[in-house]
Structure 1
Amino acid sequence: MTIKLSQNALPQFSANVSVPSYKQSDLKAGIIHFGIGNFHRAHQAVYLDELFNAGTDHEWGLVGAGVLPSDEIMRQKLKDQDWLTTVVEQDSGHRKAYVTSSMIDYIQPGNAANTIARLADPEIRIVSLTITEGGYFIDPASGKFNPQHPAIAADAANIGSPKTVFGLILAGLIRRRSEGTPAFTVMSCDNIPGNGHVTSDAICGLAALIDPVLADWVKQNVAFPNGMVDRITPATTDRERNFLATEFGVEDNWPVFCEPFKQWVLEDHFPTGRPALEKVGVTFVEDVAPYELMKIRILNGGHAAIAYPASLMDIHFVHEAMEEPLIRNFLTKLEREEIIPVLPPVPDMPFDQYFDLIIRRFSNPKIGDTIQRLCQDGSNRQPKFILPTTADRLRAGDSITGLSLVSALWCRFCAGTTDSGKPTDYLDASAERLKIEALKAKGDPKAFLAMTDIFGDVGTAPVFVESFSRILRTLWDKGARETLELYLENKL
């Protein structure tokens, strides 16, 4: 027998499902979060739930917000179950299900007036974001905010009715400024180097298009702390819904499955206050950059590295890729020889120890993370997770064979078929262009590197061009499996 998730149903759940010890009705709104996806609900929402369960900081309840049509789908699913989420964390030796109640409302997406009004509420002191790496209007090659993007230009021309997340946030700040309300803190929870700086550039850049004085006010009054977030959280499918119903008796419209591990490192810059997240394991530091770079290069870079050979070899799950010796050994050689050596040290965190942890996490067979998820959005992820390491090694005159192989594997993947001829379906804003250029690159590898908005200066570096071209031809001639073998034998 299954029980449909709702506030009234919580007392009926069996002992193997933990439920909140606090009342949702006792929470007050203190945070508005844009991007109510699986990662947010397995990360920030869980930390807050743990804090509320400890009987403290109940004035920091979450209010969801969004700008995309898909956000309304999520809103309706969560509204139907009183904003509750069932989180299932598991690995080979651990399984736990619990219900979080840290969200208390969700603003209707597309309702700019209502969103701006909520942002102007003095009780809201933090606005946070999980909008993916591609949501910040960054030019991939330069890594800088693009003020000429049509959506940004449209918001600058009509800031009273904005369509982007940054337009909405800025409109809320404008309202607070006019009403004499202190500015809220804006906190990015996305995997972007210097995510606070990137967010600041976007909002200040938009403000500068409207009024330089407004941009100066934002710079002087709004805090943008940098942060590093981490928890592997796959997409939800009927597989997860059915498992939750069968194993725990809970009917949840959109449960979240994740690994037990989670991490959050934050710069402690919250002028109007913050929840006491250090009580539930969040690490506050003066400079998050070393932690962030370690995670983005080793973990996110590692995901980007194994995604495309696994897809070309028709492997479905991430843990299955790690069971394939060629892929596991490729990742280990790449990380230890090319990625880790160019990283600055991190306090109290030996890189070998951290990488061993990453290997264990990637190998977790219980969370069902898919290779297809890792292959998404490569045009945004490659410039953030892989190409900066390539650039560092080029400047130092170091070998880039493994990193060139990663980029060549991505190109081969973008051509549209696996080595066995199956289609490589993937989500990317540039998917059509990527496929066209990848097919051209079969005859002329430089065609793919000519996408300077992605490859920047790396794509014109002679050493990289030669290495990428040679390896791409090998991939087309011999396939991913034999190419990996050549790499591991130092024959590539």
Structure 2
Amino acid sequence: MAVRLSRATLGQLGPSVGIPGYRRDELSPGIVHIGVGNFHRAHQAAYLDEMFERGLDRDWAIVGTGVRESDAEMGRDLAAQDFLTTVVTQEAERSQARVTGAMIDFVAPGDSAAVLGKLVDPRTRIVSLTVTEGGYYIDPATQAFDPGHPDILADAADRLAHPKTAFGLIAAGLLRRRAAGLPPFTVMSCDNLPGNGHVTADAVAGLVDLIDPTEARWIRESVAFPNGMVDRITPATSERERRTLRDDFGIEDSRPVFCEDFRQWVLEDHFPAGRPRLEEVGVQFVADVAPFELMKIRILNGGHAAIAYPAGLLDIHFVHEAMQDTQIARFLSALLDDEIIPVVPPVPDTDLADYKRTIERRFANPKIGDTIRRLCLDGSNRQPKFILPTLRDALQSGRSIDGLALVSALWCRYCHGETESGQAIAPNDPNWSRLTTQARQARQMPEAWLAMQDVYGDLGTNQRFRDSFTMALQRLWRSGTRASLDHYLAARGS
């Protein structure tokens, strides 16, 4: 019979399950983290757990919070099991489970006074956040902070008295610390964005600009926002994973996390208020994160987009199943070799061909259970970050763009709302209704898709891209996904 996870039951877990060897009552808070979803608990929290296990820096435990109702539900579930999380790392040949204990408290979203109390606590020296790529109020066309978003305007109108956004909470915490004579905490984004530190600084200072430009200037000049690159494939948890945890490890956990064994975290070493010694557990501290994050966003995230939409149209459910499809795997390999990697600048101490092989191996991991639908999610935010910058650079350098244009056409075809077998595709983007309307217009007029300036910007008017996209979309409708992939591979001699 499975054991319900809690601090009291740790000793009842089987010998195959790792548990904290440190005393959690000896931990003290140093980090407030906004957004304690799966990725955070498989990544930042797991690194800290390993550091505590080594007897290091136990004054850097996590206090969690959030800004959404789903965060509140997560907090209640985690509190019921004493903020413990089972992290199951999976490779094709083995699975390992460890109960992690780096989080010691959670403050419910909506209780802004309590959250601000934690932010003003002198022990809080880092505020980190994982709010997804779409949570930064970025205009997709300009890739700049949008100060006119209703959520931002609401926090500004309230003058940060009861902030509802992550950036409102951070701004209010910083300003209250300043008024109290306390040094500012470091703000550390753990989201998958190029220049995530700069993006976060723009959001926090941009919000404060609407209230008091002088205070906004202080934030820009006095607060550290280090850039960072994060990586670990971490799918959503379903009943499939909970059942595996019960059957294979004898644990009942309301919020387990399943992930791959691979992980990477590269951080700009800019923490004026201090930081934990995460380099002892594999975090890379560097002067410039940009080469690493560009490599990851273009090769891994761009590669995900490349396999997601053809697989989605062909009713393939799991990512590893897409990699078992020889045609899709060949398309990914050819696209990376011919169009993506050639416009990725050199990365220190990294062979891009080796990195590509690692990515392909990770995608093919059958244990992860990552879904194609997850990869297809939120294309209106992800395409402008993961595909279109590569396409822009390829155009500027005069390189081939046919594969990248095909990825955009596949996304358009997916947003039409049904697979090639006629199965309906459930809404899978915050802008799904609009995307579906544009995709249906584009079936007869491909230029209608590229007219979305908030997605494509001036790329939509580039004649070379327009021509390649038009041919790809017309071929998809005329001959189907497999014929379109075959045409691209044949043209490349692949």
TM-score range, shorter chain: over 0.9
User: How high is the TM-score relative to the length of structure 2?
Assistant: 0.99
Partner Cα distance (1:275, 1:84) in 2? 20
User: Can you list the C-alpha shifts for 1:220-248, whole angstroms capped at 9, x where unaligned?
Assistant: 21100000000000000000000100000
Change (3 A) 1:39 1:447: same
- 1:10-409, aligned counterparts within 5 Å? 10-158=10-158, 159-409=160-410
Deviates more, 1:355-364 or 1:89-98: 89-98
Partner Cα distance (2:119, 2:147) in 1? 23
User: Can you list the C-alpha shifts for 1:275-295, whole angstroms capped at 9, x where unaligned?
Assistant: 000000000000000000000
Amino acid paired to 2:217: D
Amino acid paired to 2:4: K
Amino acid paired to 1:352: A
Deviates more, 1:110-119 or 1:334-343: 110-119
Amino acid paired to 2:391: T
Partner Cα distance (2:427, 2:316) in 1? 14
Q: Secondary structure of 1:489's partner?
A: helix
Partner Cα distance (1:184, 1:132) in 2? 21
Q: Secondary structure of 1:368's partner?
A: coil
Contact 1:372–1:426 at 8 Å: present in 2 too? no
Partner Cα distance (2:342, 2:66) in 1? 40
5+ residue gaps, structure 1, are none
Contact 1:310–1:321 at 8 Å: present in 2 too? yes
Report how far residue 114 of structure 1 moved.
Answer: 1.2
Change (3 A) 1:192 1:359: same
Partner Cα distance (2:82, 2:432) in 1? 37
Deviates more, 1:450-459 or 1:276-285: 450-459
Deviates more, 1:291-300 or 1:454-463: 454-463
Deviates more, 1:418-427 or 1:41-50: 418-427
The number of residue pairs the alignment matches comes to 492
Report how far residue 491 of structure 1 moved.
Answer: 8.0
Q: CA RMSD in A?
A: 1.0
Aligned: 1:410 with 2:394: no
Amino acid paired to 1:321: A
User: Can you list the C-alpha shifts for 1:295-335, whole angstroms capped at 9, x where unaligned?
Assistant: 00000110011100000010000000000011000000000
Amino acid paired to 1:36: V
Amino acid paired to 1:265: V
Report how far residue 110 of structure 1 moved.
Answer: 1.1
Partner Cα distance (1:259, 1:346) in 2? 23
Partner Cα distance (2:179, 2:270) in 1? 24
5+ residue gaps, structure 2, are none
Change (3 A) 1:20 1:491: closer
Partner of 1:445: 446
Identity %: 59
Partner Cα distance (1:28, 1:363) in 2? 40
Partner Cα distance (1:99, 1:15) in 2? 12
Report how far residue 337 of structure 1 moved.
Answer: 0.3
Report how far residue 482 of structure 1 moved.
Answer: 1.2
Report how far residue 477 of structure 1 moved.
Answer: 1.1
Contact 1:85–1:101 at 8 Å: present in 2 too? yes
Report how far residue 426 of structure 1 moved.
Answer: 4.0
Partner Cα distance (2:72, 2:440) in 1? 37
Partner Cα distance (1:309, 1:240) in 2? 26
Partner of 2:433: 432
